[in-house]
Structure formats: structure tokens, C-alpha cells
Amino acid sequence: MLRRGRASLAFGFLVQGVAFALLVTRIPGIQNRYGVSDGLLPVFLAAVPILAGIGSVSTERLVRRVAPSRVLRWSQPVVLLALPAVGAGSTMTVLALALALFGLAVGALDASMNMLGVSLQRAYGRSIMLSFHAAYSLGGIVGASLAWVGAHFGLALWVSYLPVVLVLLPAALVGSRWYVDGEDRAPAEKDAVEAGAAGGLKWLLPLCLVMTVAYIGDSTVSNWSAKYLQDVLGSSEQTATVPYNVYMVTTLLGRAVGDAGVRRFGAVAVVRAGALVAAGGFAVVAGAPGVWAGMLGFTLLGLGLCVLVPQTFAAAGRRAHGTGRPGASDAAVARLNVFNYVGFLVGSPLVGALGDAWSYRGAMLVPMVLVLVTLVHARSFAPGADRYGGGHERPRTADVGRSSNGLRLRPGPSDGPGPAGADAQPGRRPRPGP
């Protein structure tokens, strides 16, 4: 069941990557279809992450009564169905409603799937969070490629979106049968939950800052890499599209091998290395004498930034679980997820304003300095009581949680080795069950 749960959740991450890439890479086509002016476009684009933040906060409250697996199971179809709604509409009102639906559902989806990822990592007793985000990166590459095909052949938006939805929607619903919820989400009294959330805010703040910084860096690449290469480094329009693709590929590669790095060297060392590589990437971009040096900088950015977001979610869930409060891990992940959208909202306007007022080379130094802030808070990623991620893998598991149908799960022969119970320590034998 563990393996099925991991595979189904990885597929959910992949589907989310496809859906998000299909939307954001076809923004020019959406703008043309609805006649959205350049002045009004930023309003629509900003509304999506704002509503996603609202969806994430709402999910924190919702999962006190409903399992995160159910939130994920029903929010993912909404995200997918919002795509053809965007593509088939003809009025600004339809566009606004479809994007609002997409934003709210994306917030719930992002929060719930990372909740499940954190609880599965705890069940495995070793770092697997990066593998889920690698699936998301792969989905982003697939979605961007499909969007390119649609744009290249001049397909209507709904024609580009509908076949993808018809394939992914039933597959996602079938896969949702094997989602696994964590065992620490037992119902809690409202006052206890709120007191725990208030008490936990201090330790969560450094991780919120790291999450914001990571997405400022990510949005800088996604929104400004093409313009930077073309306007500052003098590349052709065609070549200017390459940096983001290189960034996505190196992000995928970095996440694909990142879990092994966490198991070998520990989360703190991997986060520090990622921050240094990302800062080096921004420095190379800022000082690049030509196109190929700029490409190298964006390659380094993909390798550096790729580890920060998954490890930040993992650290939040791990530390919240250590408080012993029911549902604390889910609440921490939902709150942290909001700063994903904060970074997205801040990053693009920040670099644009600095580029216009100063220079785009100078503007690239600002996210470089911000990502170095991660080094100050690297100790927040220490494994603590759970031990995994610091070279201390837990060898067995006593209980891994519940499947989405409510059944209590224990590993069978096909699941392979997993962690001991939450109270297990390296060097000790797990306590026998009843």
C-alpha cells in the first residue's frame, strides 16, 4: 500500500505540473482570445495566486474535519476542468470566473498534496519529498511542450486543453483511490488547534521566509529569463526561449537525485548547498558577458533552487509533527504553502521595477542576496526527533497511517522496509506491537 500511495501521489504532482504549465504558458493566447489589455492582464495574473492563498488557508481549516486525501481527490478535477472553461469562454466574466475557480482549487490542491507528501515521507522514514516535486517538474515540461504544440499549430485553446483533461481526469480519479493519509490527523478540539497554531508560528516564520525567497527566484527565471537573454545579452528571440527550458530540465534532474543527497548528507547540508549554487547562478547571470554564460547561470539556478521548496515543506511537517499536536503537520504545510504565492507575487514585479529603475543586471543581484538568507536559517531544516534526512534512516515501520478509504495501513511484504514508530530512535529496536 505504501508503494501504491507513493506512486499515486507522484502522479497527482505530475498532473498538477501539466495543468499549471498549460495555463501559464498560454497566457498570450488567453489574452488575445478575450481581448485583455496589457494594463488589465497583471490584475488577472495576480488574482490567481491571491485566490490560491485563500484556498490554501481554507484547506488548513477543512482538513480538521476532512482527510487531506479527499481534498486532493476532489480539488484536482476542479483544476483540470477549469482549463477548458478558460479556453472555451468568450466574455471577460467567464474568464474571471474560470480563473477564480482555478486559483481557489490550486491552493487546496497544492496544500493537500504536500500534506500527503510530508506524511508519506514520515511513514517511509527517509527523504522522498523531492521525488514528488520531480514529478511536478516533469509535468511542467510535458505541459509546456503540449502548449507549444498547440500554439505552433494555431489550435484553439479549448482544443489544446480538452484532450489533456479527458486523459488526465479519469486517471487522476482512479489513482486517488490509493492516497495515504497520515496517522497524526486525529480530530482535535478547536481551542487546542488554535493554541497550537499560535504557539507554532515563531518556528514556522524562518521556513516561510525561505519559501518566499525560493519562489522569488523561481518567478524571476520564469518571467524574466527570456527578456534578459534577448535584451541584455543580445540573443535571438528563438534562443531566448531556451533558458527556461534548461531551468526546468535541471530542476527535474536535481530533484530526481536530491533525495539521495538528503539521505547521504542531511537536509541542512543539501539546503545550504542549494542556496549557494542558486546564489552563484544569479551572480553568473548578472555578470554574464554573453549568451552562453547566461545559459550557464540559469542552469545553476535550476540545480540550486530545486531543493529548497520540497525540503521546506518537509521541514515544516517534521517539526510540526514533533509538537505532538493532532493535525499540526497539516496546518503547518497549509500555512507555509501560502508563501509560495507570496514569493510569486513579489518576485516578478520586484525584478521588473528594479530593471526599469536601475538595470536588469543589477536586478539579478537582489534575488541572489535574498536566496543567501536561506543560509542563516538552514538550521531550521535539521531533522530533530524524526532523525531521517540526517543520515539516520529508520529501518522499519509499525504503522503508516490510513488509506483514503479509511483503512488502517500496515506494511506488507511488497512495501519493503519502512520507518519505526514515531518514538523509535536509531540503534533501538522498535517496540513490539500488541
**Contact, 159 vs 37, CB < 8 A?**
no
Of 25, 277, 109, 366, the residue nearest 117 (C-alpha)? 109
* Amino acid letter for position 372: L
The alpha-helical segments, DSSP class H, found in 125-189 are: 129-152, 157-175
**Contact, 212 vs 342, CB < 8 A?**
yes
DSSP secondary structure string for all residues of 42-97: HHHHHHHHHHHHHHHHHHHHHTTTS-HHHHHHHHHHHHHHHHHHHHH--SHHHHHH
Q: In the 8-state DSSP scheme, what is residue 232? A: I
Backbone angles phi, psi at 402, to 5 degrees: -130, 145
- Residue 182: the pLDDT is 79
* pLDDT, one tens digit for every residue, the chain (434 residues): 889 999 999 999 999 999 999 998 888 889 889 999 988 988 988 999 999 999 999 999 999 999 999 999 999 999 999 999 999 999 999 999 999 999 999 999 999 999 999 999 999 999 999 999 999 999 999 998 998 888 889 899 999 999 999 999 999 999 999 999 976 554 444 444 454 444 455 889 999 999 999 999 999 998 899 889 999 999 998 788 889 889 999 999 999 999 999 999 999 999 999 999 999 999 999 999 999 999 999 999 999 999 999 999 999 999 998 888 888 899 999 999 999 999 999 998 999 999 999 999 999 999 999 999 999 999 999 986 444 544 444 444 434 444 554 444 444 333 343 433 333 334 443 444 43
Domains of the chain: 1-183 (1.20.1250.20), 199-390 (1.20.1250.20)
Q: Is 109 left (phi over 0), alpha (psi -120 to 50) or beta?
A: alpha
Is 313 buried (19+), middle (13-18) or exposed (0-12) by CB count in 10 A?
A: buried
**Contact, 388 vs 126, CB < 8 A?**
yes
Q: What CA–CA distance (Å, rounded) separates 277 from 282?
A: 9
- Residue 198: the pLDDT is 43
**Contact, 334 vs 59, CB < 8 A?**
yes
* Amino acid letter for position 90: S
**Contact, 386 vs 318, CB < 8 A?**
yes
- Residue 418: the pLDDT is 40
- Residue 185: the pLDDT is 52
Q: What CA–CA distance (Å, rounded) separates 76 from 175?
A: 11
Q: What CA–CA distance (Å, rounded) separates 150 from 26?
A: 9
Q: What CA–CA distance (Å, rounded) separates 139 from 403?
A: 25
- Residue 28: the pLDDT is 85
Read off the C-alpha cell for 231: 535584451
Q: How many residues does the chain have?
A: 434
